[in-house]
Structure 1
């Protein structure tokens, strides 16, 4: 029998592993081998194939860029939409402390980002004592700017991985495979920007391959930091420290 990897916890919120499995299947419809398949799921576990590690390669990075373009292009029903087969909100963050991830249906990316991403984390950070009044004011100002559509583009809702930091890309002898999603409908630049938060191998080649399949909108480089605001806020709420000024400074840049 092929080796399996079992991800388990008895303390996650009810439905957590079903949420992750639903997201993987939704992404896999378009991403094929670039998305880890689900072998089994239960209330307290998720079973996946065991993936042997291999060194990152330029070719694997380029193949992943093309796969991400296909996944994003498969689309979603709306900005903020859950993966097909899932109802309600989801979660984002480490298995030890997943944060609620608001889902639903918004008519444009900016209002979705404001109401479902920036403001909920501003409230949570304030309640936890992470953000002071002045920092919350910056985040609220960004939310107003986003909701006004100032930073919207013509990109339709994309099928996002939603937690695509470098650690959620596994490099195997057969290529790169994505794991641990928080899948939803969003702006495709968000996944790409998150890869840059901690630096994915051969990222320029990955982005070039992506752009060949699905050309990015004008000015996307200037929006990388904008799309990093949400993951930086998540890290600020969970871990504090230098993530707090980093997140607030990024928000202020676009507020």
Structure 2
């Protein structure tokens, strides 16, 4: 049975031959679609995939390596299929260079033109000009409300001290926003960034998360370039946000990670 609307099959120029579920669809339904003419694409359904399409388009405008967007409508996007392959060190280096280039463009404010969500976790992307305030009010404090009291108090204390810990006005770089190693796909040709949750912010946010749930090849860092002084001290502060998201989405097994990051941040 077709998993694409009939008018879309007409646009693609071929009916669906097969549809297979793909892994990785925690926040949406993924299918590998093979058309009768042999072409393959990925269909992704979910409540925020049309916003994802706009994010992919913004990243593509800055020459970021993202899958080609074939179609977008409310609740459904279609992307080129990327056949995975083992990455070489050059692919990691090139990915670092590409991410650095994307981060080199500056936006006007911190945030994004629309809100987003990771499942039940809503992200307030209301733009602002004060970066520590954005990280405190839009990222950490909303996720602290349901924490056990001792952990909540530590997060709140850290949030209050962010003006002393984070730069007041780093360049508002376009962020992938959910950049862990599972959101990087390598083909035989290169590496690609998938499943973005874009907004403008400190470029170190992407780099911190990339080191939280995986370890990029060392050549990635050579491709990206030198980080600003103090990045090691800021890393756990930026990693705390995705750790809190995982705690809310997936339960108490992530409480130890949250506590460890608070310890590393000296909070």
Structure 2: tracts of 5 or more residues without a match: 1-36
Cα gap change, 1:8 to 1:140, in 2 (>3 Å):
same
2:124 maps to which of 98, 102, 123: 102
Please report how far the alpha carbon of residue 201 of structure 1 lies from its aligned counterpart in structure 2 after TM superposition: 3.7
The match for 1:150 is 165
- Give the CA deviation at 1:23: 0.6
Runs of 4+ in structure 1 over 4 Å off: none
Hey, what does 2:116 align to over in structure 1? 90
Contact 1:61 1:176 in 2 (8 A): yes
What residue number does 2:44 align with?
A: 7
1:192 aligns with 2:232: no
User: CA distance change for structure 1 residues 58 and 76 in 2, over 3 Å: closer, same or farther?
Assistant: same
Which residue matches 1:174?
A: 189
Say which structure is richer in helix.
1
8 Å CA contact 2:49, 2:74 repeated in 1:
yes
Q: What TM-score comes out, normalization by structure 1 length?
A: 0.84
Cα distance in 2 for residues equivalent to 1:88 and 1:5: 25
Structure 1: runs of 5 or more not aligned: none
- Greater C-alpha Rg: 2
Higher relative contact order (CA 8 A, sep 6+): 1
8 Å CA contact 2:144–2:152 kept in 1: the answer is yes
> Is 1:73 matched with 2:104?
yes
**Secondary structure, aligned partner of 2:62:** helix
Residue in structure 2 matching 1:36, options 67, 75, 81: 67
- Contact 1:89/1:103 (8 A) holds in 2: yes
Aligned length: 229
Q: Please state if 1:164 is matched with 2:179.
A: yes
- Matched with 1:19 is 51
Aligned residues of 1:36 and 1:179 also touching (Cα < 8 A): yes
What's the C-alpha RMSD, in Å, of the aligned pairs? 1.7
SS of 1:111's partner is helix
